[in-house]
C-alpha cells in the first residue's frame, strides 16, 4: 500500500490535512467547525438510518464481478458490494485516509469477508488494478 497521500492533480497532502472525500455532506459542513473525526462520529450513526447500501448497489452488481469502492470511507458500501459479488468476486476498497482503511479492515475481519482488498491510495492512482479488470466502480461522495 502506498503511504503517500495525494490530492487530485498530484499535489502531496499536508500531514495535518484530513480526507473528507469519503464522508457525507454533513461531515464536510461541520468538519471545519468541530473537526473531521468528531463530525464523522456524529454523522455515521444517522447515515445508517437513511442509506441502504445493499438496495442501492444490488441492481448493478452481480455474483463473481470485480468491483471498486473509491473513497470507501468506513466501508458501508464496501461490505454491501462484497455481499453482492459473493466469495467468487472481488472488491477493491480505496481511500486516502489511513484511519478509514484501518476501520474497514476491522469490519472485514469481524465479518469474515475474504473477497475485499484494501488500498491506501488516491482515486487517481489505481496502479494496483489491472486495466479493464473492474466490472463496476462506486465513487459515492468522491469529489
- Local confidence pLDDT in tens for the 143 residues of the chain: 443 443 444 444 444 444 434 445 555 555 555 665 665 666 556 666 666 788 888 899 999 999 999 999 889 899 999 999 999 999 999 999 999 999 999 999 999 999 999 999 998 899 999 999 999 999 987 76
Domains by residue range for the chain, with CATH:
53-138 (3.40.50.150)
CA distance 63 to 70: 20
Q: Which residues contact 66 (CB under 8 A, 6 or more apart)?
A: 85, 89, 90, 91, 92, 133, 134, 135
Specify the pTM. 0.67
> Cα torsion at 124, 129, 133, 138 (round to 10°)?
-50
Amino acid at each position: 500500500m502506498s503511504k503517500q497521500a495525494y490530492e487530485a492533480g498530484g499535489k502531496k497532502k499536508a500531514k495535518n490535512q484530513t480526507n473528507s472525500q469519503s464522508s457525507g455532506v454533513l461531515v464536510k459542513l461541520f468538519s471545519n467547525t468541530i473537526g473531521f473525526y468528531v463530525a464523522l462520529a456524529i454523522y455515521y450513526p444517522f447515515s445508517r438510518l437513511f442509506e441502504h447500501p445493499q438496495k442501492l448497489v444490488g441492481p448493478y452488481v452481480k455474483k463473481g464481478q470485480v468491483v471498486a469502492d473509491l473513497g470507501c470511507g468506513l466501508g458501508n458500501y464496501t461490505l454491501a458490494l462484497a455481499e453482492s459479488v459473493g466469495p467468487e468476486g472481488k472488491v477493491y476498497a480505496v481511500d486516502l485516509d489511513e484511519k478509514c482503511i484501518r476501520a474497514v479492515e476491522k469490519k472485514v475481519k469481524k465479518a469474515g469477508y475474504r473477497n475485499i482488498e484494501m488500498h491506501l491510495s488516491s482515486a487517481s492512482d489505481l496502479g494496483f488494478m489491472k486495466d479493464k479488470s473492474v466490472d463496476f466502480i462506486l465513487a459515492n461522495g468522491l469529489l
